[in-house]
Structure 1
């Protein structure tokens, strides 16, 4: 195993960057051993309010600095992310338990998001002309004003990449950010932030707080001008209610019970390899990972055998190198959730095709990738999001049956179709109720496409991150219209009487020449 680039001194130094005025800390364990690893400060409600106040002052200068300055700073941060990739990979693995390959996805994503927003923010948000209500008489422009201070609440599972997807476009748009980091992913976020600070982002402009949701989280959602949240649907609903009462905007990426459809024209071995990764990257602890597989009956046998063989032979490990295929669950709570879903399913008649056992020989929270058959609606694993180490396999007889089954969920975040036929795959994709659909892949195609919007439908959330939509959520469009003086707009009854005919004629002419 290669030597770790992060040291206890670095962990302590990063933790010191959390905004916290008191001495309270929490001990954070690591998945590889389950033992306490570092102490993280606790932020109080007053700490959060102070961070928001400082961020407001910093935001004024940041917005005035303009797009060119922000572009330079963000591109420097992009380069620092790449230069520090080994450190970031170590921190991600240490905190989440995922493999180095899956940690690499996060670093690549953070760099991609930073580069995209640095290079496109000006063109997207600089403003535009709009047709005036009366051509030549009224001139209209739309400008985009930063919303102010954005609150970002991110989970532990993809701490680095999910932070970048929300924080970086907010900075590019001219906003400030106060971010509440989950304890289990805070060091990765703080290391990412430090790269941005060294690149030129003012320290107060991006503050990180940590602590209990009931105190730090509530204070954050009480104070900010816009809220980004990634996490459970239950918590997302509470945040949406609070945002609604305050009349501030929110983007919420929530739960998923994502489906994969395996058509009868695939190579079973290749499809099994794709399905295994789509289900168990980060041990299934990813909002867009696959938990339901619908396979056509004609290839169900060979696909099932190939999937079982691949997962049975997979290398599970926690070493800081590229030797493992799958890693560890992130916490004892995650292990307990997986066990409870599995025990419930087996007790009610489900069959374990592969896995179903803890791998304490590798790590205290490691669990073998598990595939179930015979899953029925009364089992928790049928409709609830497991978020780790379990996928269910179903056999279907037609494309239509697969689509109906995939859509029969309260969630709609991601879906996948494995097929050799692009036209067939697109036809099915058009019928799936999901915010993203991947053809020939599980989740990485859409997840890595930072120029395209990402989000869910139904109980999987509202709003979109990434792409133009991801930038536009952080600005308020402001319409500025000017009377040109070419014609005085009517103000009295007599003036309206004179201009009524010309105005109605103008409406007819504009429709005739197809002018919007």
Structure 2
């Protein structure tokens, strides 16, 4: 493993050149004069490549190119667009090993978490390629008056979608939200996080190989406030995944410009374990629910509420399972958890745990950095007796840290689970009927029963997003594509004017219409 890690610690120069060729930054008259930013491997902190630092002019050029390409793309039939994404689905799966390598080098995550990203891209490509022609087809709707009014609902692309994606899932979030936007007939201008540009660029290269028009999707790398701010000021719809604080800023911009806005933001996600749960199953599933991607995902579990009758049994078994996790760098499948993304994220996690300790919490396992494994490694950490004034009790850690709390009954667990400004994800481990009853009471956009988050996330046919401060709008499902369209109501009036036939007084016509409406309601002839 160490030998392979050493060989793959840097991206090959030809790959860097290939992926940089997808950046709108290279449209500058003299790209060699543009400032560059180094990209470092989270495994070791070593430089693996560089990207250009885009500016407002680069974003402007990107939108010019995308808008020109989009006008032709909008005239391409949804079925022809779908063929490109079906081919893309196959290319993603065929190139999964390379894609996972790049994701791991940039993010430091373990192999299984990198595979999750590849699968997410493929699943979204397949689903929306299959659904887009049906979702975008004109639909006949009941008219105002039977027979004489004919109505049709049409869908048009919004234009060019702006996308700002984070570093934690750079492959999946770098392209999966763009897939339905493109299939809906839009162009896209995207900004990947400066820590992880190559994951997004590599999968975009495969999309171009599948036949996507070259200028239709533009990538501009660089600083968030500069590039992201410029995108938000020019796009016709904005898709953002990231922190709630940044989401508010972008939301104000979208509101001022009166454009559509979709945001998946932070979470402080709870798990509830009831007395009738299969505890051995919970112990087996809970580590991945809490520590996948080193806890750096918006839907990761950070709070666990356990009914008193099974509390100690779960705590003992869960702690033993966490202590048995294999932590380390590399591409082997048997590694359970990888690194944090960078020094800033490591410091954030350390501060949360230190604050909780100082205020009286007990760390039952983990709780320290592992510089022997790499510069940003931190052990999966479990705490109990966390006081209410500890930051990690209510704030999102976004790292491999979870606390466990005993509750007397289900009602108390539900109350504590909902006692947060967030509402992204939750899960319940219980008998199915108990779990469904609890799920209906939880203020979260997704609720897994006997699963942490994977089942809700992978169900791409159903809309998914956040309640409260965890976001607005939805990805996945029909909503995940239709949000990138404008609805057009086309109604044709035939034979009889809506104002009534000539020769009948308005008063008489009003009486006729009232009688018609009553009859239509009685006979169920009107919508």
Q: What's the TM-score once normalised by structure 2's chain length?
A: 0.95
| TM-aligned CA deviation for residue 361 of structure 1 | 1.3
- Show the counterpart of 2:15: 10
User: How does 1:100-499 map onto structure 2 within 5 Å?
Assistant: 100-419=111-430, 421-486=431-496, 489-490=499-500, 495-499=505-509
| TM-aligned CA deviation for residue 493 of structure 1 | 10
In structure 2, how many angstroms separate the alpha carbons of the residues matched to 1:89 and 1:342? 31
| 1:476-508, Cα deviation, whole Å (9 max, x unpaired) | 000011111245733889542332122111110
CA distance 1:493–1:401, shift in 2 (3 Å): farther
In structure 2, how many angstroms separate the alpha carbons of the residues matched to 1:134 and 1:353? 69
| TM-aligned CA deviation for residue 59 of structure 1 | 0.6
In structure 2, how many angstroms separate the alpha carbons of the residues matched to 1:400 and 1:371? 24
- Partner SS, residue 383 of structure 2: strand
- Partner SS, residue 171 of structure 2: helix
- Show the counterpart of 1:36: 47
In structure 2, how many angstroms separate the alpha carbons of the residues matched to 1:281 and 1:487? 63
| TM-aligned CA deviation for residue 349 of structure 1 | 0.5
In structure 2, how many angstroms separate the alpha carbons of the residues matched to 1:500 and 1:473? 39
In structure 2, how many angstroms separate the alpha carbons of the residues matched to 1:488 and 1:461? 42
Of stretches 297-306 and 4-13 in structure 1, the one that deviates more from structure 2 is 4-13
| TM-aligned CA deviation for residue 30 of structure 1 | 1.1
- Partner SS, residue 184 of structure 1: coil
Unaligned stretches of 5+ residues in structure 1: none
Of stretches 328-337 and 28-37 in structure 1, the one that deviates more from structure 2 is 28-37
In structure 2, how many angstroms separate the alpha carbons of the residues matched to 1:405 and 1:492? 67
Equivalent position to 1:504, from 514, 522, 525: 514
| 1:158-199, Cα deviation, whole Å (9 max, x unpaired) | 111122331000011011100011012210100110111011
Of stretches 489-498 and 284-293 in structure 1, the one that deviates more from structure 2 is 489-498
Unaligned stretches of 5+ residues in structure 2: none
CA contact under 8 A between 1:16 and 1:41: conserved in structure 2? no
| TM-aligned CA deviation for residue 363 of structure 1 | 1.1
- Partner SS, residue 74 of structure 2: helix
| TM-aligned CA deviation for residue 318 of structure 1 | 1.3
In structure 2, how many angstroms separate the alpha carbons of the residues matched to 1:455 and 1:328? 27
- Partner SS, residue 195 of structure 2: helix
- Partner SS, residue 223 of structure 1: coil
Aligned residues between the structures: 515
CA contact under 8 A between 1:114 and 1:164: conserved in structure 2? no
CA contact under 8 A between 1:141 and 1:480: conserved in structure 2? yes
In structure 2, how many angstroms separate the alpha carbons of the residues matched to 1:277 and 1:488? 61
- Show the counterpart of 2:97: 86
- Partner SS, residue 112 of structure 1: helix
CA distance 1:391–1:80, shift in 2 (3 Å): same
In structure 2, how many angstroms separate the alpha carbons of the residues matched to 1:346 and 1:511? 66
In structure 2, how many angstroms separate the alpha carbons of the residues matched to 1:473 and 1:329? 33
- Show the counterpart of 2:75: 64
| TM-aligned CA deviation for residue 270 of structure 1 | 2.4
- Partner SS, residue 343 of structure 1: helix
